């Protein structure tokens, strides 16, 4: 393994092993070694969180362990995020983002938010467990260009369809693009509920946001 691969491995290990100190140390090492902050996040911290998810599925980890893993991940993010190279876009498109009602998983949503922020989107984060009506109010209030919906649970997926239905009812569907994502979501599901884009990760979310805006023929 090269030095950089070892550092990325330590970042993932720190998160998986619930070790904030190791995660913070490896984050500083990554910066010292000039590893791109986005690479350190996506190929280090996120890998560790996914490994923790695997251990949860194998019933080796339970809720308390996962919470400690997420603390370690956020500690690493605090070090790395200020070093992400930010882009200045000509036009600042407005994005309303949140986790749908009934679901409190927000790690993925926060990563999508971060990636959109550094790509110079203007973000309105409604947090987690967000009722459909709150998405609609925010879209109206700020004149959003995109709504991003996240969920990690199959039991709450259909709350995404509720948001789309409500947008239609309020006559807002043509004005706003809808992007969805999270563990149980797929392209097939996005097609079924009439979302404009689905992406399986945060980097894809930025690409998709730019793609659907340009398809709508607005300059990005
Ligand atoms: C961490 C975790 C938790 C943490 C959440 C901490 C937090 N603040 O988020 C805690 C411990 C609190 C938790 C609680 C629960 N959890 Co949980 N949890 C997980 C776990 C292990 C990992 C999720 C995660 O953070 N992954 C890491 C991030 C980086 O990945 P991600 O979220 O998928 O996000 C990426 C993509 O999906 C995408 N993305 C995400 N959102 C969006 C949005 C858009 C627009 C786009 C484009 C892309 C996108 O980009 C992200 C970044 O790349 C998953 C298992 C798994 N393997 O996913 C179970 C899992 C989601 N949990 C599950 C369950 C059942 C629960 C509980 C009900 C458990 C309980 N009995 O109490 C509660 C939920 C209570 C509630 N009502 O919300 C189940 C859901 C099953 C289902 N019904 O589908 C899972 C799948 C585990 C399992 N196999 O059983 N959990």
Domain identity same for 10 and 72: yes
CA distance 38 to 160: 28
Domain identity same for 100 and 202: yes
Domain identity same for 152 and 203: yes
Ligand 1: centre distance to CA 31 (Å): 28
Give the residue whose CA is nearest to atom 19 of ligand 1.
Answer: 53
184 in a structural domain: yes
Domain identity same for 41 and 79: yes
38 in a structural domain: yes
pTM of the model: 0.95
Among 83, 110, 125, identify where a domain stops. Answer: 83
Instruction: Give the atom of ligand 1 at the shortest distance from the alpha carbon of 198.
Output: 47
CA distance 70 to 20: 9
Q: How many structural domains compose the chain?
A: 2
Domain identity same for 66 and 124: no
Among 56, 83, 110, identify where a domain stops. Answer: 83
Give the residue whose CA is nearest to atom 10 of ligand 1.
Answer: 63
Among 18, 52, 83, identify where a domain stops. Answer: 83
Torsion angles phi and psi, residue 128, rounded to 5? -120, 165
- Residues 148 and 157 sit within 8 Å (Cβ to Cβ): no
SS3 call for 177: strand
What is the span of the domain harbouring residue 159?
94-215
Mean pLDDT by 10 residues, the chain (220 residues): 89 98 97 95 95 96 95 96 86 94 96 93 97 98 97 98 98 96 97 96 92 74
Q: Is 184 in the pocket of ligand 1 (CB under 6 A)?
A: yes
CA distance 131 to 126: 10
Domain identity same for 98 and 197: yes
Q: Is 201 in the pocket of ligand 1 (CB under 6 A)?
A: yes
Supply the pLDDT for residue 220.
47
In CATH, what number is assigned to the domain containing residue 198?
Answer: 3.40.50.280
Instruction: Give the atom of ligand 1 at the shortest distance from the alpha carbon of 67.
Output: 11
Ligand 1: centre distance to CA 47 (Å): 14
Supply the pLDDT for residue 86.
85
């Amino acid at each position: 393994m090269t030095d950089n691969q070892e550092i990325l491995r330590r970042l993932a290990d720190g998160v998986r092993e619930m070790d904030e100190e190791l995660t913070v140390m490896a984050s500083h090492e990554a910066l010292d070694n000039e590893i791109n902050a986005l690479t350190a996040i996506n190929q280090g911290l996120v890998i560790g969180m996914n490994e923790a998810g695997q251990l949860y599925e194998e019933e080796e980890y339970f809720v308390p362990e996962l919470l400690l893993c997420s603390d370690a991940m956020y500690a690493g993010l605090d070090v790395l995020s200020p070093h992400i190279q930010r882009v200045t876009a000509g036009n600042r498109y407005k994005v309303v983002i949140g986790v749908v009602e009934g679901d409190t998983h927000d790690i993925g949503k926060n990563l999508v938010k971060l990636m959109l922020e550094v790509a110079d989107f203007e973000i309105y984060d409604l947090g987690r467990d967000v009722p459909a009506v709150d998405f609609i109010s925010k879209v109206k209030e700020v004149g959003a260009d995109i709504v991003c919906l996240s969920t990690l649970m199959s039991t709450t997926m259909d709350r995404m369809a509720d948001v789309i239905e409500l947008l239609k009812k309020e006559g807002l569907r043509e004005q706003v693009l809808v992007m969805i994502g999270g563990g149980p979501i797929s392209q097939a599901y996005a097609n079924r509920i009439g979302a404009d884009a689905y992406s399986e990760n945060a980097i894809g979310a930025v690409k998709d946001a730019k793609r659907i805006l340009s398809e709508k023929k607005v300059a990005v």
